[in-house]
Amino acid sequence: MSSMRQTSRVAPLKQKRPASVSKKQVSALRKRSAQRVQVVPAPAESLHDALAYSLDVCQRTVLFWDALRQRADNMLAHERAGLPPLLDFKYETLLDARRFKHPANYALLRITEVGEDCWEDCVDPDKPPVIVVDPRAGHGPGIGGFKHDSEVGMALREGHPVYFVIFFPEPAPGQTLADVHHALRHFVMEVAQRHPGKPPVLYGNCQAGWAVTLLSADCDGLAGPAVLNGSPLSYWAGESGVNPMRVTGGLLGGAWLAHYVSDLGDGRFDGAWLAQNFENLKPEKAIWEKYAGLFNKIDTQRDRFLEFERWWNGFYFLSREEIVAIVENLFIGNRLEQGEFRICEGCTADLRRIRNPLVIFASHGDNITPPHQALGWIPAVYKDTDDLRQAGQRIVYLTNPQIGHLGIFVSASVARFEHRAILESLGEIEALAPGLYEMKIDNPSGDPDCHKPQYTVRFEERKIEDLGIPRQDEAFKRVRAASEANEAFYKTFVSPWVQATANPWSAEMMKWAHPMRTSRYLFSEAFNPWMRGVSILAGAVAKNRTPLPQDHPLLEKERQFIGQVSEAMENARKARDNAYEQTFSLLYGAHQPEHACCPLPG
C-alpha cells in the first residue's frame, strides 16, 4: 500500500554469518524478525479515519437527539389519545367492567383479525380459547400482544381463539382488588360460555400472574391450565445480594409510603413510580446501555427503540385502596402463599384449592421476578411432593437461562420457541399424573420457528424437597410488623391532613412534574422550540447518511468505552445492593437464608 510503510526493529539479515551459525538458525532468526515487523498506519490514513469518525459522531448525535424528540412527541400524542392499548391486532370489546355493579377499570377484548386474516381464517374450533391478562404494574396493557411474534400472535398462529384483558388509565373511584377480581371472574365465565366444554387457558404476565392464580383458586372447574410468566407469588424468597428488590420495602418502612404518595395524588397512585423503581434496579442497563446503545447503533435501533418506548412511557394509575392492599398483602405481608390473602369479606385465597394445571415460566436473568419468587410458594403450600400428589395438582415449570424480565413477554424468539412449546404441549400437561415437573425442550435444529416433531418436549419429575428456595422468613416477619405499625400511625394521624390539602390540580401538577415524564416530554417540540431545528437538521443528515462499517477501529473503541462505563456502573450498583442487604440485616436481624442447601434446578 502506498499509504503504509514497514519498519523493522531488527538489523538486516543479509550479513555474512559466522561459520558457527547454521542455516536452520538463520531461518529461525528471519522468522522471528518477520513476526516483529510492525505495520504502522501512515499519518494520512490515521487522519482520514479520525475525520470520518468525527463526521459520523456528529451525524449520530443529531439523529440521537431527533430520536428523543420523536419519543417525546409520541408520548404526548399517546396521552392526548387517552392512552389506548398498544395491541398489534384488531379487536372488539365484549365486556367493559366500568359498567358493572361494582365497577373496575378493566375490559375484555376478542382478537378479530391478524394482519389480513380474519378470525375464521386463524381459529381452530376444536382448540380451547386463550385469555391473555397483561400486568398492571405501572404501564398500560399491550405487552402480551405488542407485535405479531408475541403471546397473542403465537396463540392465534396455533389456532386458539384469543381474548385479551385490558385496563384503562384511571381506576374507578374507590376501586378495590375485590372489584378487579370479580370483574376478571366475570370475563372467564363469559369466555367459557362462548366455548362450551373447553375451559379457557389463562395466560398471566408478571403482576397478572397472581391475579390469574387467584382466579384459579376461585374458579374451580371453570378455567383450564394457567400459564404464569415471570409472576411473583413468593415475595420473601430470593438470593441475598442478587435480588435486592425484596428488601427495599423494609428499608422504606413498609406500606405507609405508598399510602402517602396516593394521598398526594388525590387518591391515585402514579404508575410512573413503579417504572422508576424498575429502572433503578439495574441503572447500567435501563439508563446507560439503552441510550448509549441507541447512539452507537442509531441507524438500526431507532425504530425498535421508539416502538418499545411507546409502551414503556405510557404510565397508568392505581387506586389508593389497590396499591395499599397490594403492598400490605403481597410485597410486605407475603400473605398469598400463606393462605391469608383476603379477597373480600368471607373469601380468602387458598392456593391449595387450585385444581387446574399450572405452568410456571421463569428466567434466571430476571431480576424483578427471579425463579425463587416464581417457585418459592410451592414448598410453602405443599409440605412435600406426596402432599402435592395427594392434592391432585400438577405443576410444571420451565426456566430460561438468561432472558430478562420483559423478554419473557416481549422477546420474539421466546414467543416463537418457549410459548409455542407451551401451547403445543397443553394436552400432554393436562394428562400428567399429579406432581411437580420440569419442562425440558430439545431443539437440535436451533430453529425457533420449528414445530413438533422437529423439537421434542419432555417432563422430568422433580421433588419439592429439592427446590432449595432461599428464605429469610423471620426477618421479613419483623418487616411486616414494622410496616403495620407505621401504616397505622400514618393512617390515623397523618393521612387525614394530607388528604385535606391534596386536590385534583395539585395531583395533576405532581403527575407532570414526575422525573419519568419530564425526562421525556421536555425534548418535545411542544416544550422545547429548539427541537424543531433538530428535526430539520436530522432530515438533512438522513438523506446524506453513510454509516461507518461496524468494524471501524474507532467505533470498536467507542463500544469498548461503553462497556467500561457499564461495568463501572454495574460495580457501583452491586455495592449499593450490598449496602441495602447489610442495612436490612442490621435493622431486622436477617440471618443466613433457610432451606438454601440445594440449588434451584435449571
**Which band of pLDDT confidence, cut at 50, 70 and 90, is reported for residue 15?**
very low
pLDDT digits (tens, 9 = 90+) for 91-135: 999 999 999 999 999 999 999 887 666 666 778 888 999 999 999
Which has more confidence, 88 or 39? 88
Provide the 10 A C-beta neighbour count for residue 165: 27
Task: Say what the pLDDT of residue 44 is.
Answer: 58
* b/e map 301-314, b = 16+ CB within 10 Å: ebeebbebbbbbbb
Task: Say what the pLDDT of residue 18 is.
Answer: 46
pLDDT digits (tens, 9 = 90+) for 195-216: 999 999 999 999 999 999 998 8
Task: Say what the pLDDT of residue 427 is.
Answer: 92
Q: Is 131 exposed, middle or buried (0-12, 13-18, 19+ CB in 10 A)?
A: buried
Residue linked to cell 404494574: 137
Span 304-331, average pLDDT: 95
Which has more confidence, 89 or 220? 89
User: Are 128 and 200 in contact, with CB atoms under 8 Å apart?
Assistant: yes
Task: Say what the pLDDT of residue 257 is.
Answer: 96
Instruction: Give the percent of the chain with pLDDT over 70.
Output: 89
DSSP assignment of 265-310, as one string?
TTSEEETHHHHHHHHHHSHIIIIIIHHHHHHHTHHHHHHHHHHHHH
Task: Say what the pLDDT of residue 42 is.
Answer: 54
Residue 159 makes CB contacts below 8 A (sequence gap 6+) with 122, 123, 124, 127
What distances in angstroms separate CA 361 from CA 337, 377, 382, 465, one per listed residue?
A: 18, 14, 19, 20
Q: How far apart are CA 420 and CA 439, in angstroms?
A: 13
Which pTM value belongs to this model?
A: 0.88
Task: Say what the pLDDT of residue 8 is.
Answer: 38
C-alpha cell at 146: 405488542
The top-scoring range by mean pLDDT among 28-37, 450-459, 488-497 is: 488-497
pLDDT digits (tens, 9 = 90+) for 40-53: 555 656 888 899 99
User: Are 421 and 457 in contact, with CB atoms under 8 Å apart?
Assistant: yes
Q: How far apart are CA 267 and CA 43, in angstroms?
A: 67
Task: Say what the pLDDT of residue 40 is.
Answer: 52
Residue 282 makes CB contacts below 8 A (sequence gap 6+) with 367, 570, 573
C-alpha cell at 295: 447512539
4 phi and psi angles, rounded to 5 deg = -125, 155
What average pLDDT is seen over the chain? 88
Strands (E), 31-140: 38-41, 90-96, 106-114, 117-118, 130-133
Q: Is residue 516 scored above 80 in pLDDT?
A: yes
Task: Say what the pLDDT of residue 349 is.
Answer: 85
Task: Say what the pLDDT of residue 117 is.
Answer: 62
Residue linked to cell 389519545: 81
The DSSP output letter for 600 is: P
What sign for the dihedral angle of Cα 361, 365, 370, 376? positive
Task: Say what the pLDDT of residue 3 is.
Answer: 41
Q: How far apart are CA 192 and CA 215, in angstroms?
A: 13
What distances in angstroms separate CA 411 from CA 151, 284, 406, 420, 441, one per listed residue?
A: 10, 20, 8, 13, 17
Q: How far apart are CA 327 and CA 329, in angstroms?
A: 6
Domain boundaries, the chain: 79-261+319-473
pLDDT digits (tens, 9 = 90+) for 409-438: 888 889 888 999 999 999 999 999 999 999
**Which band of pLDDT confidence, cut at 50, 70 and 90, is reported for residue 598?**
very low
Q: How far apart are CA 280 and CA 273, in angstroms?
A: 11
The DSSP output letter for 46 is: H
pLDDT digits (tens, 9 = 90+) for 298-312: 999 999 999 999 999
Instruction: Give the percent of the chain with pLDDT over 90.
Output: 67
Task: Say what the pLDDT of residue 246 is.
Answer: 87
pLDDT digits (tens, 9 = 90+) for 164-196: 999 999 999 999 999 999 999 999 999 999 999
Q: Is residue 297 scored above 80 in pLDDT?
A: yes
What distances in angstroms separate CA 114 from CA 90, 100, 303, one per listed residue?
A: 7, 30, 22
Q: How far apart are CA 239 and CA 472, in angstroms?
A: 10
Fold of the domain built from segment(s) 79-261+319-473 = Rossmann fold (3.40.50)
Q: How far apart are CA 357 and CA 362, in angstroms?
A: 16
Residue 209 makes CB contacts below 8 A (sequence gap 6+) with 135, 228, 229, 230, 231, 232, 233
DSSP assignment of 425-472, as one string?
THHHHHHSPSEEEEEEEE-TT--TT--TTSSEEEEEEE-GGG----B-
Task: Say what the pLDDT of residue 6 is.
Answer: 40
Q: How far apart are CA 223 and CA 219, in angstroms?
A: 6
**Which band of pLDDT confidence, cut at 50, 70 and 90, is reported for residue 501?**
very high
Span 255-267, average pLDDT: 97
